[in-house]
Amino acid sequence: MAGTKVPESVLVVIHTPDLRVLLLERADHPGFWQSVTGSKERADEPLAQTCRREVLEETGIDTAAHELTDWQLVNRYEIYAHWRHRYPDGVTHNTEHVFGLRVPEALPVTIAPREHLRYEWLPWEQAAERCFSWSNAEAIRQLPARAGQVATR
């Protein structure tokens, strides 16, 4: 039986002013670290609403209390074969919209135990290296420029 998941999602890079980035370790794939990500619940759900819902569900952080920015960056990629059953028959690709969420400091996080095992706040360079997703790593590598800071390596 085919799934009903909408093949359009958000990726939210949560970061502090000094460019520490929040990463979450997936419960279904230990060792796979990522930013907050999630699909629209329905095709007409506004992207900012998807961000708010996913960030709140996965971290307990309310985007309304912080600075959420649409980076106007869209990635299209092939859905991993082992996750395709979640989508309607014939759907092989997902469209991902990247957002940034600036918080004032490394906030305490309440993880969703069925989704994630643990979290860490890391300097952006380390966070980019730890991500299993190329689009997530690339988004984090863009953080210094998007935050108006010079990248140091």
Answering whether pTM is above 0.95, one says no
Q: How far apart are CA 110 and CA 40, in angstroms?
A: 21
Whether 151 is in a domain gets the answer: no
Whether 152 is in a domain gets the answer: no
DSSP string, 10-30: EEEEEE-TT-EEEEEEESSST
Whether 42 is in a domain gets the answer: yes
- Work out whether strand 93-102 and strand 8-15 pair parallel, antiparallel, or are unpaired: parallel
Whether 45 is in a domain gets the answer: yes
pLDDT value of position 80: 86
Domain limits for position 138 = 8-146
pLDDT value of position 152: 41
Whether 3 is in a domain gets the answer: no
pLDDT value of position 83: 85
Tens digit of each residue's pLDDT (9 = 90 or more) over 50-89: 999 999 999 999 999 999 999 999 999 999 898 899 999 9
pLDDT value of position 74: 97
Whether 37 is in a domain gets the answer: yes
Whether 46 is in a domain gets the answer: yes
Q: How far apart are CA 130 and CA 121, in angstroms?
A: 12
Whether 62 is in a domain gets the answer: yes
Find the CATH number of the domain harbouring 43. Answer: 3.90.79.10
- If DSSP codes are grouped into helix, strand and coil, which group holds residue 70? strand
pLDDT value of position 2: 80
Residue 144 structure tokens: 């210094």
H/E element holding 127?
helix 124-130
Cα distances (Å, whole numbers) of residue 34 to 88, 111, 134, 149: 25, 13, 10, 23
Please give the backbone phi and psi of residue 39, each rounded to the nearest 5 degrees, phi first: -90, 155
Residue 153 structure tokens: 């390596």
pLDDT value of position 151: 44
Q: How far apart are CA 13 and CA 8, in angstroms?
A: 17
User: How many structural domains is the chain composed of?
Assistant: 1
Residue ranges in the chain modelled with pLDDT below 70 = 1, 149-153
